[in-house]
Amino acid sequence: MDGSGANSASNGNVARWNPTKEQVSILEGLYGQGSRTPTADQIQRIASRLRAYEGKNVFYWFQNHKARQRQKEKELQQQHGCLGFSYLNRRCLYFHNSDAPAMAPGLVNHPAPCHSSPKGMSL
């Protein structure tokens, strides 16, 4: 592969950005320094520093990196012995009813359509 960081599709397919080792190092460095969800401004700076095509690439990098970091953490964690229900901050999830009790104790059920209709009809 080339070290240009440019993307080229040998095919006629969509080209993926292919960051060089050095670029990844920079990105990881910034991530380690606390940049988890850089602002548009920051992304633009980083992108030009990397000479990446669009800030979009940098944005995706951070999104994926963050997501996968959490993912691996989660997998490592596996379980606590005390039912990981701590994620209850998923609020009702249902589209609240005009006068629904809300907060179904039943937890995050499936998108059980407890929705009352937005305009007066049941979806």
Partner DNA sequence: CATATATGAATGAACG
Partner DNA sequence: CGTTCATTCATATATG
Q: Which residues bind DNA (CB under 7 A)?
A: 1, 7, 9-11, 13-19, 24, 36-37, 56-57, 60-61, 63-68, 70-71, 86-91, 93, 103, 108, 110-112, 116-117, 123
Q: Minimum distance between the CB of residue 63 and a second copy, rounded to whole angstroms?
A: 9
Picked from a second copy, DNA, none, the partner binding residue 96 (CB below 5 to 8 A depending on kind) is a second copy
Q: Token pair of 43, please?
A: 């992304």
Give the largest CA-CA distance in the chain.
Answer: 61
Picked from a second copy, DNA, none, the partner binding residue 4 (CB below 5 to 8 A depending on kind) is none
Picked from a second copy, DNA, none, the partner binding residue 11 (CB below 5 to 8 A depending on kind) is DNA
3-state secondary structure of 47: helix
Query: How many helices and strands in the chain, by DSSP H and E?
Result: 3, 0
Q: Are 41 and 25 in contact (CB under 8 A)?
A: no
Angle subtended by helix axes 21-32 and 55-77, to nearest 10: 60
Q: Token pair of 119, please?
A: 């305009």
Q: Minimum distance between the CB of residue 23 and DNA, rounded to whole angstroms?
A: 8
Instruction: Please give the residue ranges that form the binding site for a second copy (CB under 8 A).
Output: 14, 33-41, 43-44, 47-48, 53-56, 59, 75, 79-81, 83-90, 93, 95-101, 103-104, 110-111, 113-123
Q: Are 31 and 62 in contact (CB under 8 A)?
A: yes
Q: Minimum distance between the CB of residue 51 and DNA, rounded to whole angstroms?
A: 14
